[in-house]
Amino acid sequence: MKKIFSVIGLSLVAASAFAADPLHGTKWKTIDDKSKKPLSIVQFTETANGVLSAKIINVLENGEGGKCTKCEGKFHNKSLNGVQIVSGLKNTDKNFYDGGKIIDPKNGKTYSFNAKLSPDGKTLSGRGYIGVSALGRSQTWIRAN
């Protein structure tokens, strides 16, 4: 009987250790912070070590409908569909995320990135910045699924 309870207990601990982050698999409509128009749909994925990334899966705004002409590396002059715009993001405390990087396809620059998931899970407030977060730019994304 002890063995059965031990196996069940270990299984529950292992299952909770591998529970996906709330952002894993979610899709978000990115909204331009200036024009307030929807730009694209991005989808988050999580690696086995809990690091999140997001890539563009659908371009909505014609201004981003072409190629990533200002992106560097493997995405240079490629379609924006499939471009990984968020990388290295980690859940630091319940609904807070930090340590990430975000690429702005409009200028090809990479910024540090942090985000906060709303309590109801319907919005994601992200901030891209260089150096100090106070000197950055914010966007609020709306859950698409």
User: What pLDDT sits at residue 21?
Assistant: 92
Assess contact for 24 and 44: CB atoms under 8 A.
yes
Instruction: Tell me the backbone φ, ψ of residue 9, rounded to 5 degrees.
Output: -60, -45
pLDDT digits (tens, 9 = 90+) for 9-38: 444 444 344 568 999 999 999 998 788 889
Q: What is the pLDDT of residues 100-144, one digit of tens each?
A: 999 988 888 999 999 999 999 999 999 999 988 888 999 999 999
Q: Where are the domains of the chain?
A: 21-143
Cα–Cα dist 41/103, whole Å? 15
CA distance 27 to 34: 22
Fold of 21-143: Lipocalin (2.40.128)
